[in-house]
Homo-oligomer: A and B are copies of this chain.
């Protein structure tokens, strides 16, 4: 752990620097697979599934029999936990619905904004050691509330050609319309171009390794939208002597176990507290099954002492953490003033895990400083705002002259003429 006392503002950007990855070598591979999937469809997908996942399929679509079997394999205890989490996520995302915004900007000119669902969305759920069924909840629940018609989930099969039962259970529970056993670059390419089996979608959501991340970026060059750019997960905690050192240490460790490149930062106005957290981390880390990963992330972690909360706030806003835990004597100060953060966790009994699973907020959040310019996934991520306007004769009389003058000044005579013709017609009616 790196303890840093009173760093000068001009050093913050160095101290807070995130690991950068070069993706140039990956990019060529991704482009090649995209080209092949675009051209050969399912055949290319099958080739790469065989190559990367080591399995061959006749049919990559998960059948209802497979879903039924998966449901029977998930314990009742886990089902109940998933259902509770789903209920909270549903409540919070349903609350984000916005009504039509309508106003008469000037007499006779009615403008409104309405949000309508993105018709076809793709959800990517990584495979590997940790089956991320929680991410299924975080993406499928708002997609269903938004009213997306096609919700296609792709997840790589294991060596036996199966997807983890908990993922299938959650997908079925949350309204996913099609589940496909396909992962990696070939899954993102399939969702981008469409194949005989994989539907082309308009927006792709979900986490993934660096291949998936680069593939999602490339997808945007072919007209597909993505949820947000990805990066390693990160947590910044601001805490003082009013916090509990063991709790704070457990939160830092829960971030550290995600991956060796996880970012773990503690900012405090108390040197004693920093020391106490350090001791707690050293104790707690010994019993973790993912200890090796956590140790590497912790080795890169930063424990930063600053003189006061105003300095802490400035530093935190410069960093823009994905997860931000506040546990101080002046929580309200941070809540009011935080400008850049993905999700904020307040007080001693609000661990990051709560937001990761069950509080109701979304865990798909902007990393890598993107909290400065991107929202985390929310209901609006599955909708697009459309505007409407209806102008009466009275309305065009009210704004027609201004449009004519502005169009003329921009040198767009046909724009002007579209108004002039209408004003003349109204004149002639009299």
Contact of A145 with B by CB under 8 A: no
- Residue of B with least CB distance to A410: B130
Give A244 to B425 CA distance when docked, in angstroms. 10
Are A350 and B421 in touch, CB under 8 angstroms? no
Asked if residues A350 and B390 are in contact (CB atoms below 8 Å), the reply is yes
For chain A, the count of residues having a C-beta within 8 Å of the partner chain is 129
- With A339-B116, A372-B202 known as contacts, the answer to whether A257 contacts B409 (CB < 8 A) is no
Tell me whether A85 and B410 are in contact in the complex, defined as CB-CB below 8 angstroms, given that A246-B421, A361-B389, A396-B354 are known contacts. Answer: no
Interface presence of A388 (CB below 8 A): yes
Closest to A340 in B: B119
Residues of B contacting A106 in the complex (Cβ-Cβ under 8 angstroms): 84, 87-88, 360
Contact indicator per residue, chain A 297-320, by CB within 8 Å of chain B (1) or not (0) = 000000000000000000000000
Complex: A126 Cα to B395 Cα, angstroms: 30
In the complex this chain forms, how many copies of it are found? 2
Check if A193 is an interface residue, CB within 8 A of chain B.
no
A224 at the interface (CB under 8 A from B): yes
| A294 close to chain B: CB less than 8 A | yes
When chains A and B are docked, how far (Å) is the Cα of A265 from the Cα of B403?
Answer: 23
Residue from A347, A348, A415 whose CB has the most chain B CB atoms within 10 Å: A415
Asked if A133 is an interface residue, CB under 8 A from chain B, the answer is yes
Does A211 count as interface, using CB distance less than 8 angstroms?
no
Are B399 and A88 touching (Cβ within 8 A)?
A: yes
By CB atoms of chain B within 10 A, which of A341, A372, A376 has the most?
Answer: A372
| 23 intermolecular pairs with C-beta atoms under 8 Å apart | A77-B405, A81-B402, A85-B402, A91-B103, A91-B105, A95-B101, A111-B360, A118-B372, A130-B412, A133-B409, A166-B409, A290-B411, A335-B388, A342-B387, A343-B387, A349-B395, A354-B389, A354-B399, A355-B387, A356-B407, A357-B399, A358-B402, A361-B388
**Closest 7 pairs between A and B when the two form their complex, measured CB to CB:** A105-B360, A81-B402, A88-B105, A375-B385, A225-B373, A351-B418, A202-B373
- With A131-B411, A247-B418, A250-B414 known, 18 other A-B pairs at CB within 8 A are A84-B106, A85-B402, A85-B406, A87-B105, A91-B103, A95-B101, A109-B360, A111-B359, A203-B373, A247-B421, A346-B390, A351-B396, A351-B419, A353-B403, A354-B391, A354-B403, A355-B389, A378-B385
